[in-house]
Amino acid sequence: MSTEQKLIVEKSGPVTTLTLNRPQVHNALDRDLSQQLNEAVREIRDDVECRVVVFQGAGNTFCAGDDVSEFSDWPDESIGRQIRLYQETAKIIEDLTQVTIAKVDGIAVGGGLELTLVCDFVVATDRSRWGMPEIDWDITPGWGGTNRLAWFAGRRKTKEWNLIGALFNAETAERYDLINRLTTPEQLDAEVESLIEVMLAKEPRVVERTKKYLKYGADNIDFGLALESEWIGRALTEGVRDFRDRDKREQRRKLSKTFWQN
Same domain, 90 and 210: no
Give the closest residue to 18 by CA, choosing from 127, 98, 137: 98
Residue 81: its pLDDT value, please?
Answer: 80
Same domain, 55 and 153: yes
Same domain, 106 and 15: yes
Residue 74 lies in a domain: yes
Same domain, 86 and 98: yes
Same domain, 51 and 100: yes
- Counted domains in the chain: 2
Residue 1: its pLDDT value, please?
Answer: 41
For residue 246, give the amino acid letter: R
Q: List the domain range (segments joined by +) for residue 211.
A: 203-256
C-alpha span between 199 and 5 (Å, rounded):
29
Residue 244: its pLDDT value, please?
Answer: 58
Same domain, 156 and 234: no
Please list the active-site residues: 114, 134
Residue 82: its pLDDT value, please?
Answer: 79
Same domain, 187 and 220: no
Residue 165: its pLDDT value, please?
Answer: 97
- DSSP 8-class letter at 66: B
Residue 1 lies in a domain: no
Residue 208 lies in a domain: yes
Residue 67: its pLDDT value, please?
Answer: 87
For the chain of 262 residues, list the mean pLDDT of each consecutive stretch of 10.
79 98 96 96 97 98 89 65 90 97 98 98 98 93 93 96 97 98 98 98 91 80 68 61 67 90 82
Residue 2: its pLDDT value, please?
Answer: 47
Edge-first strand listing for the sheet containing 121-125? 7-12, 15-20, 52-57, 99-104, 121-125, 181-183
